[in-house]
């Protein structure tokens, strides 16, 4: 098994930071220090947590501990946040690039959003993602091709997993709607893709409130 340098660095950081705070506790409370081991240090600090919370340096301890948690989580779960480039930001005059962030989980559990790296206010939720994609493609198509007119926008195609994640719909319901509504589809490398226009029409109709009784 290859040596995990990131994990070793994270462990060293845990020992260093927790060791420093354990040293403060043991010195000011005149107690023997714990072993320089992550579990022993954490157990020692947990035992004296009430005292440490009343210490003037408690905010610093909290910030440093939170930093350790973030670092350890990135090492332990490197794919926790999957990020994928989407395209250029469609907002007028914005030079930013959009990236989709997907947290793990099945339908109704994971979450997805798209953010601009130039302006934090340019942010779209999962339910807005497909329409955002249309805007991104329209912006790209409006730019004239080198030596020619503007390019034509091609439709997007979505898998059942994409639809399930974006609209929080069970996969079985996606397949049923595709069959009942006659969504256009195409296959590629063993996977089925559905036309985004058909998907939007069906799901928009499901969200639209019906006439008052």
At residue 46, the pLDDT reads 94
Is there a domain that residue 182 lies in?
yes
| Burial grade of 70 (CB within 10 A; 0-12, 13-18, 19 or more) | exposed
Kindly state whether residues 11 and 72 are assigned to the same domain.
yes
Read off the pLDDT band of 29 (50, 70, 90): very high
**The domain containing residue 138 runs over which residues?**
79-143
Provide the domain count of the chain: 3
- More confident position, 170 or 151: 170
Whether residue 90 is predicted with pLDDT greater than 90 in this model: the reply is no
pLDDT above 80 (res 78): no
- Examine residue 70 and state whether it is found in any structural domain, yes or no: yes
pLDDT at residue 51 is higher than 90: yes
Residues 180 and 159 in one domain: yes
Residue 13 domain-assigned?
Answer: yes
Structure tokens at 114: 């798209």
Is the pLDDT confidence value at 30 over 80? yes
Beta strands in 1-138 (DSSP E): 82-88, 97-102, 112-116, 123-125
Q: Report yes or no on 149 lying in a domain.
A: no
User: Among the three residues 51, 76, 101, which one is the final residue of a domain in this structure?
Assistant: 76
Domain end residue (candidates: 76, 106, 131): 76
Q: What is the pLDDT of residue 142?
A: 62
CATH of the domain at 167: 3.90.105
**Residue 108 pLDDT > 60:** no
Residue 109 has pLDDT above 50, yes or no: no
Residues 89 and 68 in one domain: no
Name the residue among 84, 83, 64 with its Cα closest to residue 72: 64
User: pTM for the full model?
Assistant: 0.42
* pLDDT score of 116: 86
In a domain, 148, yes or no: no
* pLDDT attached to residue 22: 92
Q: Which of 143, 169, 191 is the last residue of a domain?
A: 143
Does residue 62 share a domain with residue 83? Answer: no
Same-domain pairing of 65 and 13: yes
The verdict on 131 and 194 lying in the same domain is no
* 194 inside domain: yes
- Is residue 150 in some structural domain? no
Residues 69, 99: one domain? no
Q: Please state the rounded mean pLDDT for residues 88-95.
A: 84
Q: Is residue 178 part of a domain?
A: yes
Same domain, 55 and 101: no
The sheet carrying 185-188 orders its strands as 157-159, 191-195, 185-188
């Amino acid at each position: 098994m290859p040596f995990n340098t990131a994990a070793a660095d994270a462990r060293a950081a845990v020992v260093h930071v927790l060791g420093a705070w354990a040293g403060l506790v043991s010195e000011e409370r005149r107690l023997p220090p714990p072993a320089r081991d992550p579990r022993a240090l954490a157990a020692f600090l947990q035992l004296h947590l009430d005292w440490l919370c009343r210490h003037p340096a408690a905010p610093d301890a909290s910030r440093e501990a939170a930093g350790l948690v973030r670092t350890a989580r990135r090492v332990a779960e490197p794919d926790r946040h999957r990020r994928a480039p989407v395209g250029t930001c469609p907002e007028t005059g914005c030079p930013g690039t959009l990236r989709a962030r997907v947290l793990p989980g099945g339908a109704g559990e994971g979450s997805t959003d798209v953010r601009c790296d130039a302006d934090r206010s340019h942010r779209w939720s999962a339910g807005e993602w497909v329409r955002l994609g249309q805007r991104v493609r329209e912006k790209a198509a409006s730019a004239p091709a080198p030596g020619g007119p503007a390019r034509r926008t091609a439709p997007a195609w979505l898998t059942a997993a994409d639809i399930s994640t974006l609209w929080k719909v069970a996969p079985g319901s996606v397949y049923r709607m595709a069959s009942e509504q006659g969504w256009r589809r195409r296959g590629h490398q063993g996977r089925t893709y559905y036309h985004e226009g058909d998907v939007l029409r069906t799901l928009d109709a499901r969200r639209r409130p019906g006439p008052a009784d």
